[in-house]
Every structure is written in C-alpha cells, then in structure tokens.
C-alpha cells in the first residue's frame, strides 16, 4: 500500500461525508471499495448514494446488485477486492486483513464525535506508525472538502 489516509469527520456524519469523498475519487478515475462493518450499513450507504445529490449520478453497487467487477464503486461488509479497486475506504468497525496491502490507497473515514470510532482510528494510526508507515491525517474543511493536516 503506497498511501494510508485518515479522514476525520468533524462537521458531518460519515454517511454524509462519504458520498462527496467517493465522488471525488470516482472523478479522478479511481475504482473504490467501501468496506462497512455490517450488511445493514452497506444497505443504508447504498440508499444514501442513490439519493445524496439530485443533480449528479454516482455509479455504484453493493452485494445483490449484479457483477461487482462492473462497478467502479462497490459497497461491502466483507474482505476482498471484488471490483479490482485501487482505493479502499474503511469505515469504523470494518474488518481489515493483510490482503488490504494490495490497494494503492487506504482511507479510514471516521466520525470524531464517536468515541469508539475515534479510539479505533488512534489505535490503527499507532499500529501503522509502529510498522514504519507514514499515514497522513486529513480534516474536514469548511467547503466539505479535505485539508491535509499532517
């Protein structure tokens, strides 16, 4: 994995910030896997991506939507890379595996108002630093974008 980023939601909930983040990655031509901690969250995010912006369309799929390989953005609660994505977006509570190293970029998106998610992000940051990696930290900007803080 060449890049590990931590995106700290401070203004919006994760389900509100995720569509903008994924849309920007898609606009860059990147394929994305979003890994959630449960099938229920996958369904909620799937519904959210269909309705988040009436003026735009973000092609995506989830389990049960057909062939994952055809989806530029795929939502899942399982390990793996079903759509040959280069970017993995991890939500709080989602499983990780050594196979995640195959992604070019991993983004841990977490809500700073959720103490459990914040603690999980801090532990993951420490594990990565202890392993000799240099993760970057991004804060939610005034405009809904992301500002690199370190």
The count of structural domains within the chain is 1
Residue 121 within a domain? yes
Residue 69 within a domain? yes
> For residue 145, what pLDDT is reported?
84
> For residue 2, what pLDDT is reported?
85
Rg (CA), the chain: 14
- d(Cα 54, Cα 113) in Å, to the nearest integer? 28
pLDDT digits (tens, 9 = 90+) for 51-75: 888 888 899 999 888 899 999 999 9
pLDDT digits (tens, 9 = 90+) for 4-51: 999 999 999 999 999 999 999 999 999 999 999 999 999 999 999 998
Residue 50 within a domain? yes
pTM of the model: 0.94
pLDDT at 115 over 90: yes
- CATH number for the domain that contains residue 86: 3.40.50.10110
């Amino acid at each position: 994995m060449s890049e590990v980023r931590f995106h700290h939601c401070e203004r919006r909930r994760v389900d509100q910030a995720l569509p903008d983040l994924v849309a920007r990655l898609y606009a860059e031509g990147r394929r994305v896997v979003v890994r959630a901690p449960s099938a229920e969250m996958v369904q909620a995010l799937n519904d959210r991506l269909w309705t988040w912006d009436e003026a735009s369309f973000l092609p995506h799929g989830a389990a049960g939507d057909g062939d994952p390989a055809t989806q530029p953005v795929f939502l899942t609660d399982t390990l793996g890379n079903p759509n040959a994505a280069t970017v993995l977006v991890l939500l709080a509570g989602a499983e990780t595996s050594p196979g995640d190293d195959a992604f070019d970029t991993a983004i841990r998106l977490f809500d700073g108002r959720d103490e459990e998610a914040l603690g999980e992000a801090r532990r993951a940051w420490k594990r990565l630093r202890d392993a000799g990696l240099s993760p970057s930290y991004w804060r939610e900007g005034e405009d809904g974008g992301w500002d690199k803080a370190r």
